[in-house]
Structure 1
Amino acid sequence: MADVIAWVLVVVVAAYACGGGTDYGAGFWDLLAGGAERGKRVRWLIDHAMAPVWEVNNVWLIFVLVLMWTGFPVMFQAVFTALWLPLVLAAVGTVLRGAGFALRKPSRRLARRRVYGAVFAVASLITPYFLGSVLGGVASGRVAVGTPATAHVWANPTSILAGLLAIAATAFLGAVFLVADARRFGADDLVDYFRLRALLAFGAVVVLALIALPVTHHDASYVWHGMTRGLGLLMMILSACFGLVTVALLVLRAHRWSRHTSVATVALAILAWGFAQRPYLLPTTLTVADGAGAAHTLAWLGIVTLIAVVLVGPGLVLVYWLDTQSELEPLTDADTRAAGLPGDNV
């Protein structure tokens, strides 16, 4: 049962990386959209694309936390003790990002919209970077039971590269999804805009991945060996193949399946990390068996997880499907318009 829960945890991390990553990527492109007039159309599309379902992605983050502290309390304690600062910064980024996004649209004053938009965009970089640095700290073997909280644990070569890869991967996902959303909302002028940015983001992912090869060989040797052989290598090859397929679809302007292949690219890379790290929760000091909670706790956690999948899973799938098929009624500017104030739009 401990192995099953561990793999559920990896799958949920992959789900959050893809679902939440898409939204972080949209925030990344919001940051680079330009000034108020130049970036107006881009930000309009991001607002309309994200508004219906973006909160759903936080379900995966909560699921990760519940699985960690219930199923693997020793790992939870070790990770949150050694890496409390980047985790707090990621949490702060999540809160500020949500607040910035929620307050930007109803605000009628241009100055306020700029402030809220900047908070939303900058926080969209902070959160994936620090979450990536946490994964890097764990993968490099710097986290063990009793490890004190020091900058060395999360400000090391592997953590820095993992943080940058997280930003690049989310930018890639966000751009691919926004290509499809531009077509869905009739913003034909933005299709090529985001298509180019998706290709550039994929190029950044490839460059960072190539840089990571020699760095992780020296700095995270256990995970590096796991990713260069066996099922870890297979997952990485499949991830690369789906990435290339996504690029081909974008180049050929065949966007129907590009969302699916981009998600597969990121999800398979996360699964490769899971295969590379096994049988350890914390390489090379804490195995899944040693870090698991009590047997009856794991049994109940498995039952609750199954119930959640049966009850919540179909609802999530339905929401995503309705959104991508434009079956959800979008919010109009009139729905979110705040009361006029002196100095609005100034």
Structure 2
Amino acid sequence: MAYVPVVFILAGMAAYTVLAGADFGAGLWTLLAPGPRGEPIRDEARHAMGPVWEANHVWLIFVLVVCWTAYPVAFGSIASTLSAPLLIAAIGIIFRGAAYALRGQGASRAAEYLFAISSVLTPFALGTAVGAIATGRVPVGNAAGNLVTSWLNPASVLTGVLAVVFCGYLAAVYLAADSIRFSERALATAFRRRALAAGLVSGALALAGLFVMRDSGLDLTHGTALVMVCVSAVAGLATLVLCWRWRFGLARLTAALAVAAVVAGWAAAQAPRFLPGLTVTQAAAGRSTLIALIIGVACGSVVLIPSLALLFTLFLRGRLDTPESHDPVHPEPAPAEAAASSPGTPPSQAGTAAPAAPPARLWGAAAAVGLVAGTGLLVFLDPAWAHALGVACLVLCAVAVFRLASSPPAP
């Protein structure tokens, strides 16, 4: 049971790297696209991040909460010894969010530079913290490690640089796919070049990192860690081939797999050590705390995962595009237009609308009834059957709200 929260932490780190990392990478490409000629690249990066840039930080919060709940001694040691890079990352996230909001209001070029620099500084600081943990530079105890050299050393700095390059690599692949969706071939070409270049740089740095990490105490060249390294290498090569052939939809998946495999390889190489002299089992909290944590994560996942899945589905389908966004590549014609354009359709039927979907007001009523009934049953009644029925009503409310959010707007 002591290892179950580790699985949660690794899953959260992989999700944060794959999703939020792409957002940080978008900021990197805005920094590397100055001047009027880079305006389309900056606009595309801003558009692609718009609906999801705040939601992705849920995974960072998830990792922190699980770590300090399940492994309090290890978390205290990490947070105290690595207080500097963690503080830098936190400040970077705050400045980045503020600059992004200001940039959306037509702020000065200085806000754009603040956004871009924060997008580079944050993954670098987080990467150095991961490198310090991986190479055993965080001893057990309150600020027991060196506050400077624990994260400013060759292995940690290389990990930070690799994190920045990985972010740029993911962002370039995702943005190329997004540009294709909007029929912006020139932008897709620009991001395709960046994806190929970032992929090659990532591969070279990852290969160098194998030797640097081995000299620093983390051997990734045997066992399960080596398998994960090979998976990452194969997925990275597949991404390059897919990008070269303009298959960006599949390239998204292989790029994410390449980065997630690196996280899994690090965990496999470090197991069972959490910190020097402290194994995962020794660092774990009491059994009752772990059970409560596992139940809490399981219950929260029922709400969190469908919500994020809905958010990304709506975004990828263009439902969250703003009026000033590009038109989709293949916009679906309105029912009347489709009927009028279909060969052999009689004129009398050309303007006939398709059968209407169930009215949105029914879903709205179901959501309202579910919320009121579920709250009332849970708050004012004590029997177990009433609580079970109340939970069912709240689930009905959630389903109705999701259905309303995913419904196309009324004509």
- TM-score past 0.5 threshold: yes
- Residue of structure 1 in register with 2:319 after alignment: 327
1:274 pairs with one of 263, 267, 270: 267
Residue identity opposite 1:14 in structure 2:
A
Specify every segment of 5 or more residues in structure 1 that has no aligned partner in the other structure, as ranges: 334-346
Q: How does 1:254-269 map to 2 (within 5 A)?
A: 254-269=247-262
Matches of 1:174 and 1:293, distance apart in 2: 37
Matches of 1:278 and 1:55, distance apart in 2: 32
Residue identity opposite 2:286 in structure 1:
A
CA shift for structure 1 position 327: 2.1
Within the alignment, does 1:132 sit opposite 2:110 as a pair? no
- Residue of structure 2 in register with 1:300 after alignment: 292
Q: Is the Cα contact below 8 Å between 2:176 and 2:189 reproduced in 1?
A: yes
Q: How does 1:45-60 map to 2 (within 5 A)?
A: 45-60=44-59
SS at match of 1:293: coil
- Residue of structure 2 in register with 1:31 after alignment: 31
Residue identity opposite 2:145 in structure 1:
P
Residue identity opposite 1:60 in structure 2:
W
Matches of 2:277 and 2:251, distance apart in 1: 40
- Residue of structure 2 in register with 1:164 after alignment: 161
Describe the superposition over 1:61-93 as per-residue Cα deviations: whole angstroms up to 9, x where unpaired. Answer: 110110011111011100011000010001000
Q: Is the Cα contact below 8 Å between 1:87 and 1:130 reproduced in 2?
A: yes
Q: How many residues align?
A: 323
Describe the superposition over 1:197-229 as per-residue Cα deviations: whole angstroms up to 9, x where unpaired. Answer: 01111111112122222222211x2x21xx211
CA shift for structure 1 position 330: 2.3
Matches of 1:20 and 1:88, distance apart in 2: 18
Matches of 1:83 and 1:99, distance apart in 2: 25
CA shift for structure 1 position 118: 0.3
Residue identity opposite 1:166 in structure 2:
A
With normalisation by structure 1, the TM-score equals 0.91
- Residue of structure 1 in register with 2:180 after alignment: 183
Q: Which has the higher contact order (CA 8 A, sep 6+)?
A: 1
Residue identity opposite 2:232 in structure 1:
S
Matches of 2:238 and 2:210, distance apart in 1: 22
CA shift for structure 1 position 188: 1.7
Matches of 2:207 and 2:64, distance apart in 1: 31
- Residue of structure 2 in register with 1:20 after alignment: 20
Extract structure 1 runs of 4+ deviating beyond 3 A. none
Quote the sequence identity (%).
40
- Residue of structure 1 in register with 2:209 after alignment: 212
- Residue of structure 2 in register with 1:118 after alignment: 113
- Residue of structure 1 in register with 2:196 after alignment: 199
Residue identity opposite 1:182 in structure 2:
S
1:228 pairs with one of 215, 221, 246: 221
Q: Is the Cα contact below 8 Å between 1:105 and 1:113 reproduced in 2?
A: no
CA shift for structure 1 position 38: 1.4
Larger Rg, first or second structure (1 or 2):
2
SS at match of 2:274: strand
Q: Is the Cα contact below 8 Å between 2:100 and 2:111 reproduced in 1?
A: yes
Q: Is the Cα contact below 8 Å between 1:104 and 1:113 reproduced in 2?
A: yes
CA shift for structure 1 position 149: 4.1
Describe the superposition over 1:270-323 as per-residue Cα deviations: whole angstroms up to 9, x where unpaired. Answer: 0111111111212x3211111111111110000000111122111111111111
- Residue of structure 2 in register with 1:90 after alignment: 89
Residue identity opposite 2:187 in structure 1:
L
Counterparts in 2 of 1:331 and 1:290: CA distance versus 1, 3 Å: farther
Specify every segment of 5 or more residues in structure 2 that has no aligned partner in the other structure, as ranges: 326-411
